[in-house]
Structure 1
Amino acid sequence: MKSLFITSSFSDVASIFKDTEENLTPGKTVTFIPTASIHEEINFYVEDAKKSLEGMGLLVEVIDVSIEDKDTIFSSLERNDFIYVSGGNTFFLLQELKRTGADKEIIKQVQSGKTYIGESAGSMILSPSIDYVRDMDDESAAPSLESYEALNLIDFYPLPHYTNEPFIEITEAMKSKYSKTIKIEPFSNAEAFRVKGQRTQKYKINA
């Protein structure tokens, strides 16, 4: 059964993951993909997410798909119990996943039942296409990306950081622009989507 945890900011909603993940036990392992963040000036969220996962007793293996060889990437995705994909530039992330074939391997692992944790860019690549993300991210970061077709593991388009600084204006504009043409789903840093099989449920951290 497909299992996805879709977030804007994983460290902010880590307690929801802990409460809703049935296969979470200390000593299990995570393929941790920070690739989207590596050219970003602001990337504190990557270390925050890593610490949150380790705080649950998980063992984190960092795999940057932009520098690792295909065998190393595939071996990690196959071997480890969870897949985490960070935020950052969505176009660069998708470019590198496609270049290495990791996109197809992630789809395969998710379809076999492995839990995928997405944060911001790592959430948006789950949609059918990241064309809508051009309003938020710089597509020039991925000059070799030939198609915006994404992983297509969900039928909606996550819009992370809704109502959160410094994304308030851009996310509101994107919501208005796309709400009538695609199934766009705005959600804040305090919210997360949990997909299990065909069911999608939205959670929110209580203030």
Structure 2
Amino acid sequence: MKKLFLAASFADVAQHFPQFIGTALQGKTVTFIPTASKVEDITFYVDDDKQAFEKLGIIVDELNISKHTTEQIQQKLQQNDYIFISGGNTFYLLQELKKSGADQLIIAQIEQGKPYIGTSAGSIILAPNIEYIAEMDDQNKAPDLTDFSALNVIDFFPLPHYGDEPFADIAKNILHTYQHLQNVVPISNDQHIEIIA
């Protein structure tokens, strides 16, 4: 059973997470992957999300997949209760997930029922393909990425920050461009998508 909690900003919707999980959160652990933010100048949202987990009583175990072996990544993903991928540059995130083999490890964990939490890039990455987000994220930050096919865990395309600055106009343009071609689902910073399937 897949359990997915997808947001544009986890810190803004964290109050809904306990009900989604349905069990006590105190002392639970999350593999917290901030990799997407490592090529960005503005990263305050990573700390905001980290603090949101800590306020829920969840222990944050940070994992930058660019700096660990496949075995180390697998161990962390297996030992912790939840998987979280933060916002940042989706193209760089996908590049590093593929390089490290973490993409397949995360898919396997999701398929085994481990709850996955994504925020912004971390939500987009579950789509079949990330090409649609090019107007929001700089592809040049992922020079080694030659294929935009993503984790393909969901059959739609999350569009975060819809109606929220500084991405309001960009998100509107993306929706207009792609809405007739594929299933684009806009979410504002105050919204999230829950999937239990």
TM-score normalised according to structure 1 size: 0.93
Q: Deviations over 1:37-64 (max 9, x none)?
A: 0121111110111111111111111000
State the alpha-carbon separation in 1 of the partners of residues 62 and 119 from structure 2. Answer: 15
Aligned to 2:128: 128
CA contact (8 A) 2:126 2:150 kept: yes
Q: Which amino acid aligns with 1:45?
A: Y
Q: After alignment, is 21-30 or 137-146 more displaced?
A: 21-30
Alpha-carbon distance, 1:28 to partner: 1.0
State the alpha-carbon separation in 2 of the partners of residues 185 and 153 from structure 1. Answer: 15
Aligned to 2:53: 53
Alignment coverage as a number of residue pairs: 197
1:1-207 maps to which residues of 2 (within 5 A)?
1-197=1-197
Alpha-carbon distance, 1:24 to partner: 4.3
CA contact (8 A) 2:18 2:25 kept: no
Q: Deviations over 1:144-169 (max 9, x none)?
A: 11211101111100000000000111
CA RMSD of aligned residues (A): 0.8
Other structure's SS at 1:57 match: coil
Instruction: Structure 1: state its 5+ residue gaps.
Output: 198-207
Identity of aligned residues (%): 48
Q: Which amino acid aligns with 1:63?
A: L
Instruction: Structure 2: state its 5+ residue gaps.
Output: none
| Runs of 4+ residues over 6 Å off in structure 1 | none
TM-score normalised according to structure 2 size: 0.98
State the alpha-carbon separation in 1 of the partners of residues 102 and 146 from structure 2. Answer: 16
State the alpha-carbon separation in 1 of the partners of residues 7 and 129 from structure 2. Answer: 18
Q: Which amino acid aligns with 1:113?
A: G
State the alpha-carbon separation in 2 of the partners of residues 108 and 100 from structure 1. Answer: 15
